Amino acid sequence: MTELRLVAGVDCSTQATKVVVCDAETGAVLREGRAPHPDGTQVDPEAWWQAWQIASDGLLDGVEAVAIGGQQHGMVLLDDSGEVVHPAVLWNDTSSADATTELIAELGGPEAWAEAIGSVPVPSFTVTKLRWLRDEAARGAAEVRRDAARRAAAVVLPHDWMTHRLAADRHGIEGITTDRGDASGTGWWSPTTNDYRTDLVELAFGRQLALPRVAGPAEIVGQTSFGAAIAAGTGDNAAAALGLDLQPGDVAVSLGTSGTAFARSTHPTADPTGLVAGFADATGEYLPLVCTLNAARVMSATAQMLGLELSAFDEAALTSPGSDGLVLLPFLDGERTPDLPHSTGLIYGLTRATMQPATMARAAVEGLLCGLADAVDALRDQGLPVQRVLLLGGGARSRAVQALAPALLGAEVVLPEPAEYVALGAARQAAWALSGAATPPTWQIPVGKPEPAITVDATTIRANYEQVLNNTRPLLAQPYNQ
């Protein structure tokens, strides 16, 4: 009998830290923990460290390797000694909307960015947050901003910071690492050339900052204080792709805080429309991805408005005879795709007949899925085959989402057993690094049974959504409350 070897994977996501401890050979999850993060779009990274300590408490005995998967893009600024100089500005903070517009123009437009880094920046990208901070400091904003702009010596991402924090022998900013997957969301690294574009850091911030070394996919980058090897880690979507072992024709659609649609690709993409971000994956290949700012929380917010528990909301959306022309544009936290950072949500088509809780619940789920259907279509437009859609994330637990997704996304829908796929992907990377093998270990992905599909007139639902979006776009593009 072979000896059991244990690896840990972490998802340092927007809303929580989740930890899984797995059998390195089979991927079977043996222990699990989680702890919440504070709400808000600017967060002290120390909160992630505390969440990790709570989530991993009592789980780490015998663990030989660990890897961190983390929410992408968040800007963590460090001084020379490695101290954090400003709350991390997260991917869903839209303060850098104006900075984004300026940066795009300064490099020569969307095409120039797509060519330089494979993506056109949106306010989620770290590069825009750097420019925002520089401008805030120049405008004489709060002392914390001015001080941060002065003291910043290095810029890293949430998973880079957590990986460094885990290392027993860390000294200041020396030896910090990142990986291709997460580096590709900064706005200053090219997945095609595998090189930093330090000129873009200079363009955004007016001076250079130290950047983490880009580690290889199966590299061991350090040791923890409890004696485990630390693997490179990666961004959460690249980790999920590894956890799911995505195959050609598979598109993952994740409904977490963000909504994402992504596929693995053997070649880089460069979409000048900005819809598809040309990210790298965690294996040395590519991960074209479309991301929306609003996903699972559209359902929880609508449920709250209707005074329903999530389960009752879900039942109402599932059993409603239809949305009857009621359209909900789900841009509750501003939106990234479509690029409407200042937008708010919008409900169109209220009548006495449609102003019913069940109709509203259905319209919320349809609105959310119409946005993701546009995301899947954008991947199709990049020439990516869409044979199966794998539904993931907390929002995929919704039976209404499962039942409506096949019609609205226009593909077979597969429901991997609900599991923490980001943390699992990180654990698989840790097992790969530990094995020293050329490829990651083969782990089985159990597939569950989605709610049976319901027949709806998807063409009309999507056409209504597009019509409301197109007709209100100029209004939604303006800052609300002006």
Ligand X SMILES: Nc1ncnc2c1ncn2[C@@H]1O[C@H](COP(=O)(O)OP(=O)(O)O)[C@@H](O)[C@H]1O
Q: Which residues are annotated as a binding site for substrate?
A: 72-73
User: Which of 56, 72, 94, 184 forms a contact with ligand 5SP (CB under 6 A)?
Assistant: 72
235, 278, 393, 406: residue in contact with ligand X (rule CB under 6 A): 393
394 part of the interface to ligand X, by CB under 6 A: yes
> Is 414 in a helix, a strand, or coil?
strand
Residue ranges of E strands in 1-86: 6-12, 16-23, 29-36, 42-43, 63-70, 76-78
- Which region holds residue 186: left if phi is over 0, alpha if psi is between -120 and 50, else beta? alpha
Q: Does 41 bind ligand X (CB under 6 A)?
A: no
| Amino acid residing at 100 | T
236 is a contact residue toward ligand 5SP (CB under 6 A) = yes
Minimum CB separation of residue 399 from ligand X in Å reads: 8
Shortest distance (Å) from residue 203 CB to ligand X: 30
Question: What does each C-alpha distance from 21 to 33, 65, 75, 225, 436 come to in angstroms?
Answer: 9, 10, 28, 17, 19
What does 91 interact with, of ligand X, ligand 5SP, none (CB < 5 to 8 A by kind)? Answer: ligand 5SP
> Minimum distance from CB of 205 to ligand 5SP (Å)?
21
Whole-number Å distance between alpha carbons of 283 and 290: 19
Instruction: Using the rule CB under 6 A, give the single segment among 99-107, 108-116, 251-259, 470-478 that binds ligand 5SP.
Output: 251-259
Positions in 108-127 near ligand 5SP (CB under 6 A): 124
Q: Which does 299 bind (CB under 5 to 8 A by kind): ligand 5SP, ligand X, none?
A: ligand X
* Residue from 27, 45, 222, 256 binding ligand 5SP (CB under 6 A): 256
d(CA 54, CA 67): 17
Query: Given candidates 48, 52, 91, 205, which one binds ligand 5SP under the rule CB under 6 A?
Result: 91
Of these, 395, 406, 416, 425, which contacts ligand X (CB under 6 A)? Answer: 395
**Residue closest to 453 by CA, chosen among 395, 374, 399:** 399
For ligand 5SP, which residue of 56, 71, 94, 359 counts as binding (CB under 6 A)? Answer: 71
- Binders of ligand 5SP in range 216-235 (CB under 6 A): 235
Query: Of the listed pieces 65-73, 364-372, 406-414, 443-451, which binds ligand 5SP according to CB under 6 A?
Result: 65-73
**Residue 300 binds which of ligand 5SP, ligand X, none (CB < 5-8 A, kind-dependent):** ligand X
Query: Nearest Cα to 98, choosing from 479, 480, 411, 482?
Result: 479
Give just the sign of the alpha carbon dihedral 468, 472, 473, 477: negative
Cα separation, 40 vs 468, whole angstroms: 29
Element (H, E) at 200: helix 198-205
Query: Which of ligand 5SP, ligand X, none interacts with 424 (beta carbon under 5 to 8 A by kind)?
Result: none
Task: Report the SS3 class of residue 141.
Answer: coil
Query: Please, which of residues 227-256 interact with ligand X by CB under 6 A?
Result: 256
Cβ 367 to ligand X, closest distance in Å? 14
Among ligand X, ligand 5SP, none, what binds residue 440 when CB lies within 5 to 8 Å by partner kind?
none
Q: Pick from ligand 5SP, ligand X, none: which does 73 bind, CB < 5 to 8 A by kind?
A: ligand 5SP
Task: Tell me which residue of 369, 371, 362 sits closest to 413, measured CA to CA.
Answer: 369
* Contact of residue 237 among ligand X, ligand 5SP, none (CB under 5-8 Å per partner type): ligand 5SP
By C-beta, is 15 or 42 nearer to ligand X? 15
User: Which value, to the nearest 10 degrees, does the dihedral of the CA atoms of residues 267, 272, 274, 275 take?
Assistant: -60
Smallest separation, CB 223 to ligand X (Å): 28
Tokens describing residue 82: 């490695």
Applying CB under 6 A, the span of 12-20, 79-87, 326-334, 342-350 interacting with ligand X comes to 12-20
Question: Of ligand 5SP, ligand X, none, which one sits near residue 395, judging by CB under 5 to 8 A according to partner kind?
Answer: ligand X
Which of 104, 282, 291, 318 forms a contact with ligand 5SP (CB under 6 A)? Answer: 291
Following DSSP, what letter does each residue of 230-250 receive, concatenated?
EE--EEHHHHHHHHHT--TTE
Distance CA 105, CA 125 (A): 16
Angle between helices 143-151 and 126-138 in degrees, nearest 10: 120
Q: Give the number of other CB atoms < 10 A from CB of residue 117.
A: 29
Provide the angle, in degrees to the nearest 10, between the axes of the packed helices 399-409 and 458-477. 90
According to the binding rule CB under 6 A, does residue 328 interact with ligand X? no
User: For residue 306, which phi and psi values (nearest 5 degrees)?
Assistant: -85, -5
Tokens of 299: 């359902």
The stretch among 66-74, 200-208, 439-447, 474-482 that binds ligand 5SP (CB under 6 A) is 66-74
**Structure token pair of residue 376:** 């899947």
Is residue 50 classed as helix, strand or coil in its secondary structure? helix
**Which residues, 6+ apart, have CB-to-CB distance to 50 below 8 Å?**
35
420 near ligand 5SP (CB under 6 A): no
Catalytic residues: 236
The token pair that represents 66 in the structure block: 């660990």
Residue 258 lies near ligand 5SP (rule: CB under 6 A): yes
Site of interaction with ligand 5SP (CB under 6 A): 13-14, 71-73, 91, 124, 185, 235-237, 256-258, 260, 291
Binding site for ligand X (CB under 6 A): 13-16, 256-257, 296-297, 299-300, 310, 314, 393-395, 397-398
